[in-house]
Amino acid sequence: MTIVTRFAPSPTGLLHVGNLRTALHNWLLAKKHGGRFLLRIDDTDSERSEETFVEAIREDLAWLGIEPDGEERQSDRFKLYDQAFDKLHEAGRVYPCYETAQELELKRKIQLGRGLPPIYDRAALELTDEDRASKAAVGEEPHWRFKLDHDAPIAWDDGIRGPVKFDPAQLSDPVIRRGDGSWLYMLPSAVDDIEMGITDVLRGEDHVSNTAAQVQMFEALGAEPPRFAHEALLVGKEGKLSKRLGSLSARALREQGLEPEALLSLLARLGTSLPVEAIVEREVLIEGFDLSTFGRAPAKFDEAELDRLNAQIVHRLPFAQVAGRVPDGMDEAGWEAIRPNLTRVDEAGEWWAVVTGTVVPPAFNEQTRFYMSQAANALKAIEWDENPWHVLTSTLKETTGRKGKELFLPLRQALTGREHGPDMGALLPLIGRETALERLEAAAA
């Protein structure tokens, strides 16, 4: 059987790291087994769904290299949902309810106060045909619930959590349709999974109770439920994912100059027993993906770890891959020299300015200024070969007796205006003999 997974975002906002992790894991699961990964746009909420967010979802997945093998939109599939609803209605598995949101909230509070689970009491099932007719006569439109079968427990073998069992009597009959006829998540999602041939649903553990209800929906519609796996949710360093992190979007990360490989490396293995390490090749992530490595403990998302991975990724990027993102005039030699000091590619401009821009050395004392004049004279006399830095410092070591920090640091400060940075052996040839001489003479003045 070909494995088919799906990612089903609602286009009501930008994708954040939690969404991206779900998309990535479903893509990896499909690719690991030579299957198909589908994108389903859950846009049944016409008031909140926006086309700009649909485009943003596609852009974010493309940035990460997550390519769907097909795409569906729920707004094109209302006829399927109507047919499923009619089938369930004929089977007595859906029923109309008339309670307002305020009435339901009051019921929940009363149940909690009595130490009872705050589930729907099925009061609407007691309504007679005359009751419903009188409500319709005054314009009351019902919302509709799926009637759970209380006769047998709901059970499945979860791909991460293992055997899972629910007593349906301890669950509320889920609302599947609003009074205005619009759809909620539960039924359309089950219908789509059937019609799209979804074999595996991998999602957050906050959906476990939804899965219990949907298992019965699949069965009521005459379909075999897909395999389910529920992974631990992301949390922040303090134990709860902050609102800022929870809304940390792919677009924001991209605009910050983050490499997609860094985010993939972190999200692919976050919450598993596998080491989180910088991985450039997606094939490595695919090959290593295994639901058996997932744990039950919350997965901690740490921006500092993401930055660390990003720096490691940048240090491996070849010039050909960044040529369009570096400053004008920077060639492969310049990239190779500056790359080890970068955490993000867009920092290259700051370091390239050390090569091509104006450098302001510190205010040296008289002794150091004299040393700078010695360095300028030495630079005039040496052969400018493949390693002028080595020749210059060797000459100065011999003529001045300086060594270590006393030898190297003033030279770096005069030539770059900084106390640290790229290897001077690689940087000095880029600066060039004439510019280097001008900087040494200016530092000596």
Query: Which residue ranges are tagged as binding site for ATP?
Result: 243
What are phi and psi for residue 6, nearest 5 degrees? -150, 155
Nearest to residue 237, comparing CAs of 311, 185, 302, 167? Answer: 302
Cβ contacts of 75 within 8 Å, gap of 6 or more: 41, 43, 44, 46, 49
Nearest to residue 418, comparing CAs of 372, 353, 335, 374? Answer: 353
- Determine whether 117 is exposed, middle or buried from the number of CB atoms within 10 Å of its CB (0-12, 13-18, 19+): exposed
Cα gap 171→183, rounded to integer Å: 20
Cα gap 146→189, rounded to integer Å: 14
Cα gap 301→398, rounded to integer Å: 53
* Token reading at 52: 């700009």
Could you list the residues known to form a binding site, using ranges. Answer: 243
* Token reading at 366: 């008289």
* Token reading at 110: 């009363």
Nearest to residue 28, comparing CAs of 225, 245, 200, 276? Answer: 200
* Token reading at 362: 């510190």
CB-CB contact of 402 with 357 (8 Å):
no
Cα gap 102→193, rounded to integer Å: 33
Residue with tokens 């019965």: 216
Cα gap 82→440, rounded to integer Å: 80
Distances (CA, A) of 165 to 209, 219, 356: 10, 16, 67
CB-CB contact of 103 with 124 (8 Å):
no
Query: For residue 228, what is the enclosing H or E element?
Result: strand 227-231
Cα gap 298→327, rounded to integer Å: 41
Count CB-CB contacts under 10 A for residue 355: 22
